[in-house]
Amino acid sequence: MSSNSQGGRPTAVASDHAGFDLKGIIKKHLEARNVEVMDLGPHSDESVDYPDFARKLTECILNGGAGRGILVCGTGLGMSMSANRYRGIRAALCHDHFTASVARRHNDSNVLVLGGRVLGSELAIDILDAWLDTHFEGGRHRRRIDKMEEPGT
């Protein structure tokens, strides 16, 4: 399977129990797009703690094991809050095509967060495709992203 992920690295996916079903749909869609996928779990819908899986995914990206990631929990809120605690992670909780596109174009999002209990699978795939297909514009947006990486932000 070829990879069209950032830097030739796979795209990591992870969820909690509430996002497990949507994670499976996302994984199949990524594979159909010939995106190399690294599934960081869970591997069943038994109850788990979302911060554990957000940590696994963010550390994988920060350590260079994956180029980008997708997190799914019930609303997306817990995963978003957990992932954004890590410097270098720009996790974007997206609810539509527009927010996914802007998350990449203006914010250079490296993690997409989705809510498995608030999005239908067709909308989730549209959001995913918008996020995957949009490129970072740079320019004035780079300056703003650099400010997010400053200590104390």
Give the CA dihedral 108, 136, 93, 126, nearest 10 degrees.
-150
The CA distance from 71 to 53, in Å, is 8
Amino acid residing at 67: G
Catalytic pick among 95, 97, 106, 141: 106
Catalytic pick among 60, 73, 97, 141: 73
Does 17 participate in catalysis according to the annotation? no
The CA distance from 31 to 76, in Å, is 22
To which residue do tokens 């690294």 refer? 38
Does 60 participate in catalysis according to the annotation? no
Catalytic residues: 73, 106
